């Protein structure tokens, strides 16, 4: 017999599945309207969202959270504006549903096509970045999928406020409120139940550190998409516009160093290394970042790494 917890989580899954059937055939105009309405509401409710976030920050600081995770948890007016801009950007993208990506005709005249269709219910388990709530939900909605979201306990108040905005926007645009469902129980056992919603969750995507990824590997019974630990590279080719490449390289590291997609490695083609590397090392002395350079030998394989003695700093923060 299913436990109380299993029943509650499965009910969330059933609601998401019901919403996904409506979203699968929703018109592009309806989905875009929901995203644009959410962007407007997010800024209109900025005071409420920031107040919820302030409560999360206060609790996290009291619990001794480190500065890096605290920065990822923090929302500001500027970051809310960025989240709203992200919602509008997704609304402006072409609708992938129904796109024919391949096709051929058999000798008997039968036409076969590969057509993009929604997955159904996409569950996303993530850690303490509340902006992921709007980012993930917007991508799911645009692609005709219901979003079943489970964030961290440290961001719960923020996530509830943001999810409420998204759900209200869906209703205002004629879509199901359950297009976006936030799992508000942040216990580990609840996350495991989400991982095991076989028949209800069509795809599970974790966004977090090694312990979350390992938990997914240990417990998930639904289809999952798991990335690696990550080492975000910027590559400057010999044909690159070096001025533009310099802007990209500096911004990708210094715009917000604490996030998981901040650049960690800069690879430069040897043909432009002498022209590019010195500028990349000295172009932004006030960013608080440093740069080390190593020449990679020709033919180096995937397992190659520079010996510690061959890596020398070419700049440092003041």
12-96+116-219 CATH pick, 3.40.50.2300, 3.40.605.10, 3.90.1300.10, 1.10.3080.10: 3.40.605.10
**CA 71, CA 73: separation in Å to the nearest integer?**
5
Tens of pLDDT, residue by residue over 131-185, are 999 999 999 999 999 999 999 999 999 999 999 999 999 999 999 999 999 999 9
Residues spanned by CATH 3.40.605.10 within the chain? 12-96+116-219
Phi-psi region of 146 (alpha: psi -120 to 50; beta: other; left: phi over 0): beta
pLDDT in tens, 83-123: 999 999 999 999 999 999 999 999 999 999 999 999 999 99
Binned at pLDDT 50, 70 and 90, residue 266 comes out as confident
Statement: residue 301 has pLDDT above 80: no
Q: What percent of the chain has pLDDT over 70?
A: 86
- pLDDT, one tens digit per residue, over 37-50 is 999 999 999 999 99
- Return residue ranges of the chain for CATH 3.40.309.10: 233-297
CATH, range 233-297: 3.40.309.10
Q: Which whole-number Å values give the CA distances from 184 to 65, 80, 97, 111, 312, in the listed order?
A: 21, 21, 30, 47, 48
Of 124, 145, 138, whose CA–CA distance to 93 is shortest?
138
């Amino acid at each position: 017999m299913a436990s109380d917890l299993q029943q509650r989580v499965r009910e969330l899954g059933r609601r998401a599945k019901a919403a996904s059937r409506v979203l699968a055939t929703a018109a592009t105009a309806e989905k875009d309207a929901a995203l644009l309405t959410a962007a407007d509401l997010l800024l209109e409710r900025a005071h409420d969202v920031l107040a919820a976030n302030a409560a999360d920050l206060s609790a996290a600081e009291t619990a001794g959270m480190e500065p890096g995770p605290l920065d990822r948890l923090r929302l500001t007016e500027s970051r809310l504006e960025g989240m709203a801009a992200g919602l509008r950007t997704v609304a402006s993208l072409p609708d992938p549903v129904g796109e024919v990506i391949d096709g051929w005709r058999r000798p008997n005249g039968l036409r076969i096509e590969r057509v993009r269709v929604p997955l159904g219910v996409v569950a996303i388990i993530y850690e303490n970045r509340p902006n992921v709530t709007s980012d993930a939900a917007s991508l799911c909605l645009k692609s005709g999928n219901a979003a079943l979201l489970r964030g961290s306990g440290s961001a719960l108040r923020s996530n509830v406020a943001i999810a409420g905005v998204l759900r209200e926007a869906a209703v205002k645009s004629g879509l199901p409120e359950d297009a976006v469902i936030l799992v508000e129980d942040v216990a580990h056992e609840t996350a495991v139940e989400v991982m095991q919603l076989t028949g209800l969750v069509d795809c599970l995507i974790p966004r977090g550190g090694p312990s979350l990824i390992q938990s997914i590997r240990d417990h998930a019974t639904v289809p999952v998409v798991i990335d690696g630990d990550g080492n975000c590279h910027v590559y400057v080719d010999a044909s690159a516009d070096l001025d533009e490449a310099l802007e990209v390289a500096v911004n990708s590291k210094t715009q917000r160093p604490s996030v998981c997609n901040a650049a960690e490695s800069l690879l430069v083609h040897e043909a432009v290394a002498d022209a590019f590397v010195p500028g990349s090392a000295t172009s932004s002395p006030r960013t608080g970042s440093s740069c080390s350079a190593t020449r990679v030998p020709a033919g180096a394989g995937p397992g190659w790494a520079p010996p510690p003695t061959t890596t020398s700093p070419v700049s440092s923060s003041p």
